Amino acid sequence: MGLKILTEHINVPGINTLETYRKMGGYRSVEKALKTMTPDEVVEEVKKSGLRGRGGAGFPTGMKWSFLAKPEGKPRYLVCNADESEPGTFKDRVLMEKIPHALIEGMITSSYALGARTSYIYIRGELMFVLRILEKAIAECYAAGLLGENILGSGYSLDLHVHPGGGAYICGEETALLESLEGKRGNPRNKPPFPAVWGLYGCPTVVNNVESIASVPWIVNNTGEEYAKIGVGRSTGTKLISASGHINNPGVYEIELGLPVEEFLFSDEYCGGIWKGRKFKAIVAGGSSVPILPGELFLKTAEGTPRVMTYESLSEGGFVSGTMLGSGGFIVMDDTTCIVRNTWNFSRFYHHESCGQCSPCREGTGWMEKILHRIEHGHGHMHDIDLLVNVSKQIEGNTICPLGDAAAWPVASAVRHFRHEFEWHVKHPEKATAPGAVYSGAEDLAFA
């Protein structure tokens, strides 16, 4: 059993109520920070902790905080990104649903550190039932003097509101989220300026993921140095992993960074191995946007080093033979999975979710989906396979926001690692389009 920072009390009955949450030690960080620390000292602890943004990009949270501009006469905002929509990722939802106060405590402490007087939790609209849970918890906090004017007599005041989205993956991109919070279409902004300077309503703003913010109370309570001791190297602390797909125990697991991936995937404490006694074929390890890897390249790097659950280990080998930890969304595929179908499915997702603002993404995501749809349904040509990769290259790096990259990587990596499956679909459409048909090896490629 590894150390649990976020989910230690997740199964305690009534942990969703303020009373129980406080009984389990909740809101100590608010007391400590507001009464005994300056805001800068809180920022310093978070910096020391090495905590990295848990939304997917892995940017150091403390550094992001220290970039926040502090001009006179302008309010500053903390906005929590609870727009969890990355396929394969459902950790924030589970955390908020079960322990809403973990996020709220983090919001109060973090808002204090950043000097925000009004903070927002932007939650995806589909999670309206979680919004209700959060609003109830917030009301409890107002009643207990943990929110509102003069929190716990410290002189610090904070209003915290929950804001529902309307159904758009793109609003997980921080500037699209801010546009959406301002009541507009979720079109990402051109950067610079970054939100730290020009964010919500043109004011300096920090946008942080749910899990990042929920990690702050522990850091404040136990110091950043202690947090940095957990994990390996630059991957400090614990991480929530959403595990889904063809495994025995799908669910959300809190792990200490540095856990061997093999243990995570196969031990009964976590995923419990591949379901139905089947073989491990492939995995998308960081939410749908990251490159797909064949099972063997996931367990061990190309050099044969066993991988561990850290940002660095999973990306070893770059895009040639590595992937990314991303948001920690593990989508596991067994040997009955058709990679072409899976790639088409993800491609359809990005096509559906492109905001349509910039041309490479608007046009390119649809184009890739159409090509993949053709290949999957037996109407592909050999040259389509290279075309796919080429189109993905035309999108990658050339768009306003990272959705373009997120759409390009799954396609490029699927062709890189599973090219033979695409070729099989082109060469033997009658076989490949049969219900449940899966490429089973090189012999399938030979001409009959």
Spatial separation of the C-alpha atoms in residues 40 and 36, rounded to whole Å:
12
Q: Given candidates 7, 81, 221, 399, which one binds other proteins under the rule CB under 8 A?
A: 399
Say if residue 319 is exposed, middle or buried (CB neighbours under 10 Å; 0-12, 13-18, 19+). Answer: middle
- The smaller minimum CB distance to other proteins, of residues 22 and 393, is found at 393
Identity of the residue, 116 or 230, whose beta carbon is nearer to other proteins in the bound complex:
116
Query: Is 412 one of the binding residues for other proteins (CB under 8 A)?
Result: no
- What secondary structure, in 3-state letters, does 391-416 show? HHHHHCCCCCCCHHHHHHHHHHHHHH
The region of 1-9, 179-187, 261-269, 439-447 touching other proteins under the rule CB under 8 A is 179-187
447 touching other proteins, by CB under 8 A: no
By CB under 8 A, what part of segment 14-43 binds other proteins?
Answer: none
How many other CB atoms sit within 10 Å of the CB of residue 436?
6
295 near other proteins (CB under 8 A): no
- Cβ atoms of residues 307 and 232 within 8 Å: no
Sole binder of other proteins in the list 263, 398, 429, 437 (CB under 8 A) = 398
**Single-letter residue type at 131:** L
Identify the residue among 6, 108, 257, 358 touching other proteins (CB under 8 A): 358
Size of the residue set binding other proteins (CB under 8 A)? 81
Residues from 269 through 288 that contact other proteins (CB under 8 A): 284, 288
For the bound state, the minimum distance from the C-beta of residue 390 to other proteins, rounded and expressed in Å, comes to 8
Query: Least separation, in Å, of the C-beta of 321 and other proteins?
Result: 21
CA–CA distance, 239 with 214 (Å, rounded to integer): 11
Residues 185-214 that bind other proteins (CB under 8 A): 185-186, 190, 192, 201
Residue 189 corresponds to which tokens in the numbers above? 């902004």
Q: Is residue 242 a contact residue for other proteins (CB under 8 A)?
A: yes
Does residue number 124 form part of the binding site for other proteins (CB under 8 A)?
A: yes
Taking CB under 8 A as the criterion, the residue among 21, 27, 169, 264 binding other proteins is 169
Yes or no: say if 326 and 289 are a contact pair by the CB < 8 Å rule. Answer: yes
| Least distance (Å) between residue 78 CB and other proteins | 14
Taking Cα atoms as reference points, which of 215, 252, 237 lies closest to residue 89?
252
Backbone angles phi, psi at 254, to 5 degrees: -95, 125
Beta-sheet pairing, 280-284 with 251-256: unpaired
